[in-house]
Chain A
Amino acid sequence: MKDLKHLIYFESLLQEANNDLVREAQSRGKLAVGSVCSQLPEPLLNLPGCFSVRLRAPRTGSIEMGTYYMSSLICECCRAWLERALEGGFEFLDCIIAPDTCAQMNRSVENIEHLNLCSKGHFFVSYCDVPMKADDTALRHYVRQMRTHVLEPLHENLGVDISDEALRKAVEEQNEISRLLTDLGEFRKEKEPKITGYEFAVLCLATYCCPKNMLIDKLKETLEEVKQREPDRDKYRVRVLMAGSEIDDPEIIRIAEEVGALVVADRYCFGSFPGRQVISLNDDEDVLLQICRWYMENGQCPRFMNTDKINERHAYVDKLAMEFSADGIIYQQMKFCDYWGYERALAGHVLREEYDYPVLTVDRPYVVSNSGQLRTRFQAFVESLEIKKINKERGAANE
């Protein structure tokens, strides 16, 4: 396929946490709100006058200092954040809002705070407790926490408007991005998709790391471009769904596609499922309640511990795999992640044994670009899927 006109632009935005758009927005007086987890409703961090930046550490090399502070037994992603902060890479942040979701993320942020690695005078860190179950009790807690530990600190420390109107505006802005990404993502359902998994991952990831309103024009242009695009014929050998823990570097998708596995659906943290769907608000209920309910009901993080939610996660992946005609599922997990370590094992069994999908489960380092091991695993999976296809065709022919 012909390269997308703005792909390099979007890729360049992913090279730094403090990228061109972040700098431009800050030069206009906007405040950068750092966040670390998908369980923090994004619209709350994108109120008028501020924008959210999910912490990432692109182009990570050595993480020795991060390892000294957090030991070598902690998730590399969390160590890489700390390393980046020690290098001064998060100095631009005006605050960090950190839900106490994963202990390792939390420790990373606590290290950043106690080592005073963000030096703006008004900089603050707010920690909040987010629900581990999806029920009415949890929802009340969620709303209370978001009000007390997100909205109020933003208002009190940075003067951010936290009115219902401001919340509605932030939701609408996010919805516009979600509509564009959903439209772009729909092309992945086609037999010969007009957009690759890598390209989609780059576009989607950018929306988590940049001021959203500054991306809309280029996303619209890209959507129009994709509509007219001629797809590659027979370039990919199989279609896969990528699931699992945080992917904040699309290189892993590129590796999979280089060996012939087109990534047609993205159910991972920083992906579009869930997170880039329209949030519908009614006029009757409290806006914050509606936003929190959306995130609680749609959340697919393995941190949700009740049995219904555990089963729902597998059904959700099955639904996506069917919609996007995936031949197989790749469950990847960042090494040392407890949540995904267990979820990957369970989901591997359930989706194989109860849903009858071929599944590859693999753990990986934070930096994957040079991972020959990962490439080999993907390659072997592609071949196994092809063999299954051949056997299936032969079986059908014999019948």
Chain B
Amino acid sequence: MSKELGKDRLGKFYSGKKAKKRREWRGLKDTWYAYTQWLSLWKTLIKFMIKPNNLKGFFRYRWMLNYLAVPDFFDRHTEGMRGTQLRLAYTGIGLIVKDMCNMLDDIFRADPEIGNDKEFNEKIVIFDENMMSTLMGGFPNLRWLSVEVPSVYTSAMMNQKGVEYYIDVTEEYGVPGDVCPMPAAELGVSLAGDFPLIGKCAVQCNTTCDGSLMGNGIEARQFKIPTFQLAVPIRHQQESVHEYAAEEIMNAIHFIEENTGEKFDWNYFFDCMKRFNKETEHVLEWFDINKTQYPQVISDNLALYRYGVYQAAGGRNEVFLKTDEKITELAEKAYKSKEPIVKEVRHRAITWGVQAAYYTAFPIWLQNCWGVLPLLDMLTTVSTKTINTDDEEEALMDLAHLYENMIMRNRSNGGYEVGVEELWRYCESFNADMVIMYEHIGCKSMTGYHGLFEEEARKRGIHLVWVTHELMKPADASRRDMRTQVNRYMRTVLHEEPLDPSLEDFEDDKCW
């Protein structure tokens, strides 16, 4: 029990059961801050649950049970943190939770089985989980929603076994067990009838991977609303594909217009994009800080928050920009005062490949156990190109570029240059000596470079640590298995001792 950074033995909090033994003591000031934030989180959750629609939704949908783990999720993602890091976590991730509650509010309000607000339902456009919502910035009177995000994506983050049932449903349907668990889980929710069937129309996208788009095809049959499939070019680095990408975006806009009767409002869109561009400026500033000896917005504080802002908020929500400003302010202050993140920095790392949804707290474990700072996560390395805010044609081309470079797909598609080569450039600019290479069993796009990664890392003298996982299926590679791979590398290759030995090996298979 100490306020001093890295003094606690964090492994002792794990009881082998769902929840930890007790909450962490971080010194009076930080503990008080964490406690008030914890109370505020409960307030948000209680306010959400007392609404009759949401209560009904809780009992109607199996995946809602996963949200019982929200408080524990916060404890996992603030483990060992003090000072600015703790505040960054509650500021960024806290907002994501509030935003998720709003999304669920709206989903249950429109759900024919629950709120059945038909008028509101007419205004809803459903987007595929992996597809960023930016183009909805031109439709001020419509509501963008994704039923896959709360049911699958965040569910798996809250509770490591949260979507296993749905993966089983898909396998029972006949889809092989070797596909990526994420689209498999989404399809399982659909097959099990656990998607709220809402919305006037839907837009799906060929994002991320071959499996994802194939799952969408089957899901579209269950949605039973007009569905547009947005085909974004795969070889997105080539000049010759951008025109098509822009035409497809325009086709999607026309589809929404036709199905909702709304007109794309360019002025409103430009306002949203101004906000979006400002958000990008903030991210670039965080990156700059992370390149120094005193990085601040790293690990999950960067990754989890950034996913939300980039994919879901899309410049439409002023609150996100305000939060960005707050994060920048906190980070700059901490940088100026040379505030450390861990008691000893042993390695500066880039995490590449997709991280395990069932172990999003893994980067925090890397920090606390081995002093490895995950400065940048692959999924955060999305486009930072500014969107034109006064010329419609230019803006459309920029929007096309943005969609071509959506989260994950900008690395998993597009070839060697973006999948492998850019990693080394990031290592150089962030002065990283280590790459934590996530080998997601079901992700064929990245594993196809396995040997080339090995050879290139060796050539450059970079420590490449493979961490195998199965995204949403911990049964195939548990959290403990992931840690063991790092432990072995640290001990056998680098001959290092952990900063916190209690974290080297502990039982958490049954935890949330």
Contacts and interface: CB of A to CB of B under 8 A. Distances in A.
Interface of A: 68-71, 73-75, 78, 100, 102-104, 106-108, 110-111, 113-115, 127-129, 131-133, 137-138, 140-141, 144-145, 148-149, 302-303, 305-307, 310, 333, 335-336, 338-339, 341-346, 348-349, 361, 363
A305 B452 contact: no
Nearest to B171: A345
Contacts of B244: 129, 137-138, 140-141, 144
Contacts of B441: 73
25 contacts: A68-B450, A73-B447, A78-B448, A103-B210, A103-B413, A103-B448, A106-B448, A107-B444, A111-B449, A111-B451, A133-B229, A133-B231, A141-B233, A144-B243, A149-B238, A149-B240, A302-B214, A338-B179, A338-B210, A338-B214, A341-B178, A341-B179, A342-B179, A342-B214, A342-B218
Interface string B262-280: 0000000000000000000
Given A100-B235, A145-B240, A344-B174, A107 B445 contact: yes
A132 B234 CA distance: 10
Contact of B415 (A70, A100, A104, A341): A100
B478 interface: no
Nearest to B443: A73
4 cross-chain pairs, A with B, having the tightest CB-CB distances, nearest first: A107-B448, A69-B451, A345-B174, A342-B214
A148 B216 CA distance: 30
B65 interface: no
A315 B1 CA distance: 68
A103 B445 contact: yes
Given A102-B210, A103-B448, A107-B448, 5 more contacts: A110-B415, A129-B241, A137-B251, A342-B214, A363-B176
Interface residues of B, number: 49
B450 A70 contact: yes
Contacts of A133: 229, 231
Contacts of B178: 73, 335-336, 341
B450 A69 contact: yes
A393 to B, nearest CB: 30
A138 B412 contact: no
B248 interface: yes
A342 B215 contact: yes
A155 to B, nearest CB: 16
A141 B404 CA distance: 15
Nearest to A148: B240
B52 interface: no
A390 B140 CA distance: 63
B35 interface: no
Given A71-B447, A149-B240, A342-B215, A361 B439 contact: no
B261 interface: no
Contact of B234 (A74, A129, A338): A129
A108 B206 CA distance: 21
